[in-house]
């Protein structure tokens, strides 16, 4: 299952930012293992149970989701919602369901209680094993660089895994709490993807959203760590905006997003230069691509499936980089 930190959403209007104080953090606090949680810059969502799974099949995932939603409505469900994750490999099963219940609230960033620290958890002795081993990974990087010089790739992303083992079961609610409270203006997600498997993470990046006929994608590429020293932090941000290497990397991703979105749009706007977006730990080059949807029957999921994986998490050409 993909661990890509990108989010696709098909949304109505944002939740009221002036809703009761504590409404968003109450949803965050209520998350438990097996639930599905999503926090975005416009709303917070917590889902329980499974009313219907979207089946795996040969039809495009957007068609299978549409069929599952029609079936749910025919059974009397009003405004059913599908929530889940898409796999990195297109022929792998997705983890998409219609939950039994869905609770929504305003964005965490609007809730002053999100500034309160997460509860302390006992220290744990972890065993960490990299996969592949550093020497093997370094050889892979060297090979990829050689192939880029030979013109096979414009960009390639090499993944690696850290297998972390502890004496006790992972405290998923505490992990989600810390992720969400650290960057409440970003996208924090957690959902089961199989027996004893949970996909969770946090990212400032938006793959695509649709609200009415308006499409928005916010690709990020080109990054630098932040500094605790204010002057150095500002210097790093300014340098990132002028970095030829990072600007090229960013342009590759934005161009790919533009090319995929354009056929779905009657008009599309791409800023000439990126801006900066920050998290607690990183500066990123950011471009917000906006478009007007040409055909109202096209869902956010259909466009997300066409975009995923972007060069930001895979490379380009996509098919070759994916291998």
Q: Which of 203, 224, 249 is the C-terminal boundary of a domain?
A: 203
pLDDT tens profile 196-219:
899 999 999 999 999 999 999 999
Tell me which residue of 61, 49, 164, 46 sits closest to 105, measured CA to CA.
46
Active site residues: 155, 205
Q: Are 16 and 161 part of one and the same domain?
A: no
Q: Are 3 and 111 part of one and the same domain?
A: yes
CA–CA distance, 259 with 304 (Å, rounded to integer):
13
Contacts of 266 (CB under 8 A, 6+ apart): 291, 292, 293, 294
pLDDT of residue 250: 95
Q: Which of 157, 181, 203 is the C-terminal boundary of a domain?
A: 203
Q: Are 68 and 15 part of one and the same domain?
A: yes
Give backbone dihedrals phi and psi of 280, rounded to 5 degrees, phi first. -65, -25
Question: Which parts of the chain have pLDDT scores under 70?
Answer: 1-19
**DSSP secondary structure code for residue 256 in this structure:** H
- Structural domain boundaries enclosing 134: 125-167
CB atoms within 10 A of CB 319: 9
pLDDT of residue 1: 34
User: pTM of the predicted model, to two decimals?
Assistant: 0.87
CA–CA distance, 77 with 80 (Å, rounded to integer):
6
Q: Are 317 and 297 part of one and the same domain?
A: yes
Which residue is listed with tokens 């097996």?
34
Q: Are 102 and 134 part of one and the same domain?
A: no
pLDDT of residue 17: 52
Q: Are 87 and 145 part of one and the same domain?
A: no
Q: Are 250 and 306 part of one and the same domain?
A: yes
Which residue is listed with tokens 């998490």?
313
pLDDT of residue 141: 93
Which pair of tokens denotes residue 303?
A: 């466009």
CA–CA distance, 173 with 138 (Å, rounded to integer):
35
Q: Are 232 and 190 part of one and the same domain?
A: no
Q: Are 66 and 142 part of one and the same domain?
A: no
Q: Are 129 and 118 part of one and the same domain?
A: no
CA–CA distance, 310 with 208 (Å, rounded to integer):
11
Q: Are 112 and 2 part of one and the same domain?
A: yes
Q: Are 58 and 181 part of one and the same domain?
A: yes
pLDDT of residue 6: 46
CA–CA distance, 178 with 250 (Å, rounded to integer):
29
- State the total domains in the chain: 3
CA–CA distance, 269 with 258 (Å, rounded to integer):
9
Contacts of 178 (CB under 8 A, 6+ apart): 118
CA–CA distance, 94 with 145 (Å, rounded to integer):
32
Give backbone dihedrals phi and psi of 195, rounded to 5 degrees, phi first. -55, 125
pLDDT of residue 198: 95
Contacts of 30 (CB under 8 A, 6+ apart): 46, 103
């Amino acid at each position: 299952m993909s661990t890509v930190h990108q989010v696709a959403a098909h949304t109505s209007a944002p939740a009221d930012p002036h809703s009761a104080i504590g409404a968003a953090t109450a949803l965050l606090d209520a998350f438990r293992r097996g639930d599905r949680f999503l926090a975005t810059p416009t709303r917070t969502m917590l889902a329980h149970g499974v009313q219907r799974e979207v089946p795996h099949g040969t039809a495009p995932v957007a068609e299978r989701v549409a069929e599952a939603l029609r079936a749910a409505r025919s059974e009397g469900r009003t405004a059913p919602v599908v929530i889940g994750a898409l796999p990195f490999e297109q022929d792998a099963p997705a983890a998409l369901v219609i939950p039994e219940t869905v609770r929504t609230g305003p964005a965490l960033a609007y809730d002053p209680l999100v500034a309160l620290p997460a509860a302390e958890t006992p220290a744990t002795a972890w065993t960490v094993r990299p996969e592949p081993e550093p020497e093997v990974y370094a050889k892979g990087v060297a090979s990829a660089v050689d192939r880029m010089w030979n013109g096979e790739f414009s960009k390639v992303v090499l993944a690696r895994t850290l297998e972390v083992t502890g004496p006790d079961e992972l405290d998923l609610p505490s992990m989600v709490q810390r992720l969400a409270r650290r960057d409440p203006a970003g996208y924090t997600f957690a959902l089961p993807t199989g027996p004893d498997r949970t996909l969770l993470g946090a990212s400032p990046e938006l793959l695509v959203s649709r609200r009415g006929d308006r499409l928005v994608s916010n690709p990020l590429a080109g990054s630098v760590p932040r500094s605790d020293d204010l002057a150095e932090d500002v210097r790093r941000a300014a340098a990132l905006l002028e970095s030829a290497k990072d600007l090229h990397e960013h342009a590759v991703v934005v161009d790919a997003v533009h090319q995929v979105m354009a056929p779905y749009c009657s008009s599309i706007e791409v800023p000439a230069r990126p801006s900066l977006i920050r998290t607690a730990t990183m500066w990123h080059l950011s471009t917000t691509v906006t478009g007007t949807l040409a055909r109202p029957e096209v869902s956010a999921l259909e466009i997300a499936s066409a975009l995923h994986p972007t060069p930001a998490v895979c490379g380009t050409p996509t098919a070759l980089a994916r291998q």
